[in-house]
Structure 1
Amino acid sequence: MAIQNIISLIYTVDYYLLFIAIITIYIFNFYYKYFNRPNALPGPIPLPFIGNFHNLLYDPKKFYEQCQNKYGDISELSLDRRFILLTRPEYFEKLFDRKLFFMRQSYNQGLEEIGMFGHGIAFNENYENWKPNSKFFMDTFVAQKFMDNAVNCTNNLYKELSDYWQSLGKQNTSNNNNDNWTLETDFTKWLHGFTNDIVSIIITGERTYSIAAYYNTLSCKKSEYPDAIVEDGDRFVKSIVKYIQGLMLFSSTGSFVRQYIPIIKNKSVDYLKNRDYLFEKLDKIIQKRKEEIKKMTIDKEMRTDMLTSLITANTNLKDSNDEELKPIADIEIRGNILDAFLGGTDTTTNLFCFITYFICKNPHVKQKMLSEIDCILTSDKSYVSYNDLQKLRYCEAIIKETSRLVPVIPVGHRLITEEYEIAGYKWPPGTHFMLNFSGIHTHPKIWPDPEVFNPDRFYNDDLDDKKLGDKSALCIFGGGRRICPGRRLAMVELLSLMALVFKNYYVELVNKNEPLKLVTLMTTTCQELKVRISPRTDLLI
């Protein structure tokens, strides 16, 4: 028995020594490769196994800022691979070259598993598949008929939002006929509901009833819509939010981690179940619309929404000589719809929250904005036209300045597919770059007083973009071939909301000394924005 124990101990020691030896060899090899890497750049030294992931856990945006301050406009970090972090407009411009690069990343098995890689445009790295989808987005979102429909939908939805605010405000007062009510509320919740509803209408022609769902949680009176419809829409929206969370997990973890690490495994299974529900829901919406189109008579005008355009695209080829045009497959329709939801809801919501915060923190900006809005919207304070939006130059300047200080997308990504020179170094194919939008937007060598909120830098003729440096110094919507195809629609929504909300309501921060509550992951998100809303009594008739 004693001999067996000794042998067992030897085996245990051997296994322990073998494990230590393997770890030691791995660490030695890891740092040998790191310190002998080509084009070595300054940057935080990575740790074995996790690289610089630990630096990103607290605040990625702050980490990129620290890298810029400590290492300069070009540095590097290690995540699941080597990334070159850039903060110079001339570097951006090279990677935005339309003739050379469009890829954001190499193949990602996790994104394929969750159903996004290779479909739509956001996560599609196959150029031949991406190009027609991108062209469709561009053509759709610049069409005047589409823009007019977006403005009309925004007006109608704002009227409902305003009615809910008035209802809640009057419920909180002793006199229900009193128009001098005040409502303290979380602006982010209302804006999430609004953008979910408006994007759903513009994209699919159907509502999610998100505003009504949130109103029902606050009010003793319920909305006029049936509970079943509101609950179904609310579940659909929550499924999209959950899908975004799944995208972050699946894109940043390996297959082994998702399948065998207990907590992550359970989350992965849950996200895949949610994916199946969401895809089934979208497929039903697509099939329903197809059936409606089949039953339409020739003299009936087509509905103006993205889904209808996707279904009918390239189907009427009698007058076309292009034999290569084919109807868009359902899987691509679904991918494009998902892209529109993912890119058109959270980004618009968060940017409008940031806009509201800076307007309320700067009374002189607010007064100048109100003067412009009141001057242009003189006839009907509950409706704004597309032509009105073109005149809101100072409002547009506020949007640009807000996006400069707090970009919703803090970094962009590019993957080069051929050898290319940047910053005096020749980089091999397969090199990954991170474009530090947040850093370049506050670069002291590009922007005068970069930390000051000053919309005039985008408003005055003597402070136009040409005098602010390179055209890539402001990347609100990215750049190059990957520039956001919905940027015009986003501006229309933001300008419409600014005009309608601030024309009709006083909006103030509940706590003026409280900083923005931000969380940065793939995007910069406003967690909460407590505001005090009341009618502009000087405009009441």
Structure 2
Amino acid sequence: MGLSFDLSSCNNFLQLSKSTILIGLFGLLVLLLNLRKRVSRKNEPPEVAGGWPIIGHLHHFMGGKNKLLHVAFGAWADKYGPIFTLRMGLYKVLVVSSAEVAKECSTTNDMVFIARPYQVASEVMGYGYAMFPLAPYGEFYVKMRKMVTQELLSNSRVDSLKHVWGSEITNAIQKLHQKLVSTKGGAPTLVNMKGWLTNLTFRTVMKVICGGVGGDDTSPAASVTSNGGDNNDEVSTYQKALREFFVIVGELRLSDVVPFLGWLDNMATTYLKRMKDNGKFLNILLEEMLEEHKRKRRSLSEEEKKDGGYVEQDFMDVMISKLKDPKLLSYYDADTINKSTCLTLILSGSETTMTSIVWALSLLVDHPHVIKKAQDELDTHVGRERQVNESDIKNLVYLQAIVKEALRLYPPAPLTSPRISTEDCVVSGYHVPAGTRLFINMWKIQRNPEVWHEPLEFRPERFFTTNKDYDIGGKHYDLHPFGSGRRACPGASFALQLVHLSLASLLHGFDIKNPSNEPIDMTESPGVNNLKATPLKLLVTPRLFSKETY
């Protein structure tokens, strides 16, 4: 008995199947068109042209093109307006370049944009999201931010530690003065200010947060005769590791924007290994410091314990005492929270301060009349018989205007860290779907010609005339270099105090000039922090020689 079938019946079936498929495809097409029309009625923001399937607009940033995202976004804002979208890989990105819209995102829609998008580097190097600025929004984030704000960065806590960071800055200025006088007789000397400031801010922030590092025998004055690195190899290694952290976090990776292609990252680069090595190295540093703090506490004698016990010297000490909340400790152990929080503050404090002062000096030396005004103010309110201290800053209004203007032109973070919408919302009249990434382009906002007259010019005087009511982080969202809303930098006030005192001390103690007739190179570096791409080597001459001063 053979196997047979009716060929005509099969042909009829195939014809029927083709008809069914065609009808189905036609119906699907109609459905998709209807859905598209329905979505388009929601009035979404304009999208940058030229997106590709899967990768979206990533090709605009490949091959060395448009490495400075804030500049590329700024150019698109000129074309598409103050609110537009693009696609980074599979994800829609909303870019805001208007103070009014930024305020709306940070007030009306603040809770909608409270979450952070997933990033491999944040998980691998951020102690599995224990670094609270990188953590998902929830109980852990809320409790940690509250603790940091109230226990570490409160006005009373910062005031109690002013003598620590004040003495670090004073000592660094004294040693630089002594170095210049002893080696050059007080003659103008070429100093790598970027390197000097890196050492100064790193040592100062480390002293406040975890008691210091690398001993006290190596001064930032080492940068006078070197390429700017610290002569202490241990300190230099730590600085490089911190810089590498920022570089890695700032890199745009397929893992974060096209997750199913993430495996290509490790085929083409050593990205994952770099992350793990960096995280491991920094953890060892923090682990050693934490154990030393615990050892000092254990070594207290019974008499010392009766007299009040261990006196908290720095932020790491404070957290050892305060990390008792069982709900907080249900997420991570106390040591992990302590180390991750200290790392957060070290990274943000040292890099932000150094970056801000470098840009301020870069602008100042091309405007010597501004330096003269600042020094006249310092001589009036401080005199030449002592060094500047923190209590003088409130009287140095022109110096404060210099810092405002430098932060306006070169904010340390030109783009806010990305946030993600947790639900559909309306921004500036446009529908923004859930899952949209948000960037606020502070660099573009702070150069708006409708707000800032001649916005590309360095003019501190504007804060006494057309923009006299503008304060950093104030009611005007045109000047928010440290972000805004619930995700704003909690250490902005502390960083500003360091910037003011460091810059005032430099301008008071030294004459600083451009060694060349050419303007300072103002090229920016890509990444999370807006670093100056090239060294800043300036001629530095002591201007105070009183024995009481030095």
Same fold, TM-score > 0.5, yes or no: yes
Residue identity matched to 1:504: G
The separation in 1 between residues aligned to 2:203 and 2:97, in whole angstroms, is: 36
Residue identity matched to 1:63: A
- Preserved contact between residue 74 and residue 87 of structure 1 (Cα < 8 Å): yes
Residue in 2 aligned with 1:354?
359
Q: Does 1:119 align with 2:130?
A: yes
The separation in 2 between residues aligned to 1:53 and 1:488, in whole angstroms, is: 36
Of 197, 201, 209, which aligns to 1:203? 209
Alpha-carbon deviation of 1:500?
1.1
- Preserved contact between residue 191 and residue 224 of structure 2 (Cα < 8 Å): no
Of 518, 522, 546, which aligns to 1:516? 522
- Preserved contact between residue 143 and residue 328 of structure 2 (Cα < 8 Å): no
- Preserved contact between residue 57 and residue 86 of structure 2 (Cα < 8 Å): yes
Residue in 1 aligned with 2:432?
427
Alignment CA distance shift 1:218-1:392 (3 Å): closer
Residue in 2 aligned with 1:406?
410
The separation in 2 between residues aligned to 1:488 and 1:211, in whole angstroms, is: 30
- Preserved contact between residue 415 and residue 442 of structure 2 (Cα < 8 Å): yes
Residue identity matched to 2:81: G
Between 33-42 and 526-535, report the one with greater CA deviation: 33-42
CA offsets per residue over residues 226-255 of structure 1, 9 Å max, x none?
x8xx33333222222223333234866356
Residue in 2 aligned with 1:22?
none
The separation in 1 between residues aligned to 2:386 and 2:113, in whole angstroms, is: 44
The alignment partner of 1:488 has SS state of helix
CA offsets per residue over residues 47-99 of structure 1, 9 Å max, x none?
34433233334332321221111111111222131111111222111221286
Alignment CA distance shift 1:377-1:113 (3 Å): same
Residue identity matched to 1:310: M
Alignment CA distance shift 1:143-1:252 (3 Å): farther
- Preserved contact between residue 93 and residue 472 of structure 1 (Cα < 8 Å): yes
CA offsets per residue over residues 257-302 of structure 1, 9 Å max, x none?
6655566443421331232222122122212212322333332551
* 1:23-422 equivalent positions in 2, closer than 5 A: 39=44, 41-56=46-61, 57-58=65-66, 59-80=68-89, 81-97=91-107, 100-101=111-112, 103-139=114-150, 140-164=152-176, 166-167=178-179, 170-171=182-183, 173=184, 178-179=185-186, 181-208=187-214, 212=218, 230-249=232-251, 253-254=255-256, 259-261=263-265, 264-296=268-300, 297-298=304-305, 299=307, 300=309, 302-315=311-324, 329-378=334-383, 380-382=385-387, 384-412=388-416, 413-422=418-427
- Preserved contact between residue 145 and residue 304 of structure 1 (Cα < 8 Å): no
Residue identity matched to 1:87: S
The separation in 1 between residues aligned to 2:544 and 2:57, in whole angstroms, is: 54
Alpha-carbon deviation of 1:207?
2.5
Of 504, 522, 533, which aligns to 2:540? 533
- The count of residues paired between Structure 1 and Structure 2 equals 490
The separation in 2 between residues aligned to 1:516 and 1:211, in whole angstroms, is: 33
The separation in 2 between residues aligned to 1:218 and 1:357, in whole angstroms, is: 17
Alignment CA distance shift 1:71-1:250 (3 Å): closer
The separation in 2 between residues aligned to 1:536 and 1:84, in whole angstroms, is: 50
Residue identity matched to 1:516: M
Residue in 2 aligned with 1:27?
none
- Preserved contact between residue 48 and residue 84 of structure 2 (Cα < 8 Å): yes
The separation in 1 between residues aligned to 2:218 and 2:154, in whole angstroms, is: 30
* TM-score using structure 2 length: 0.80
The separation in 1 between residues aligned to 2:431 and 2:524, in whole angstroms, is: 37
Alignment CA distance shift 1:107-1:469 (3 Å): closer
The alignment partner of 2:419 has SS state of strand
CA offsets per residue over residues 190-242 of structure 1, 9 Å max, x none?
1111111111111101224699387557659xx9x9x8xx3333322222222
Alignment CA distance shift 1:34-1:387 (3 Å): farther
Alignment CA distance shift 1:406-1:115 (3 Å): closer
Residue identity matched to 1:475: H
The separation in 2 between residues aligned to 1:446 and 1:231, in whole angstroms, is: 47
Residue identity matched to 1:141: L
The separation in 2 between residues aligned to 1:353 and 1:211, in whole angstroms, is: 25
The separation in 2 between residues aligned to 1:89 and 1:211, in whole angstroms, is: 47
* TM-score using structure 1 length: 0.81
RMSD: 3.4
- Preserved contact between residue 246 and residue 271 of structure 1 (Cα < 8 Å): yes
- Preserved contact between residue 120 and residue 255 of structure 2 (Cα < 8 Å): no
The separation in 1 between residues aligned to 2:365 and 2:141, in whole angstroms, is: 41
- Preserved contact between residue 86 and residue 92 of structure 1 (Cα < 8 Å): yes
Residue identity matched to 2:193: F
The alignment partner of 1:82 has SS state of strand
List gaps (5 residues or longer) in structure 1: 1-31, 316-321
The separation in 2 between residues aligned to 1:435 and 1:282, in whole angstroms, is: 33
Q: Which has the larger radius of gyration?
A: 2
The separation in 2 between residues aligned to 1:219 and 1:393, in whole angstroms, is: 34
Alignment CA distance shift 1:356-1:330 (3 Å): same
The separation in 1 between residues aligned to 2:263 and 2:372, in whole angstroms, is: 56
Between 511-520 and 160-169, report the one with greater CA deviation: 160-169
Alpha-carbon deviation of 1:494?
0.9
The alignment partner of 2:512 has SS state of strand
Residue in 1 aligned with 2:10?
none
List gaps (5 residues or longer) in structure 2: 1-32
The alignment partner of 1:310 has SS state of helix
Q: Does 1:501 align with 2:506?
A: yes
CA offsets per residue over residues 148-167 of structure 1, 9 Å max, x none?
52454333344235424542
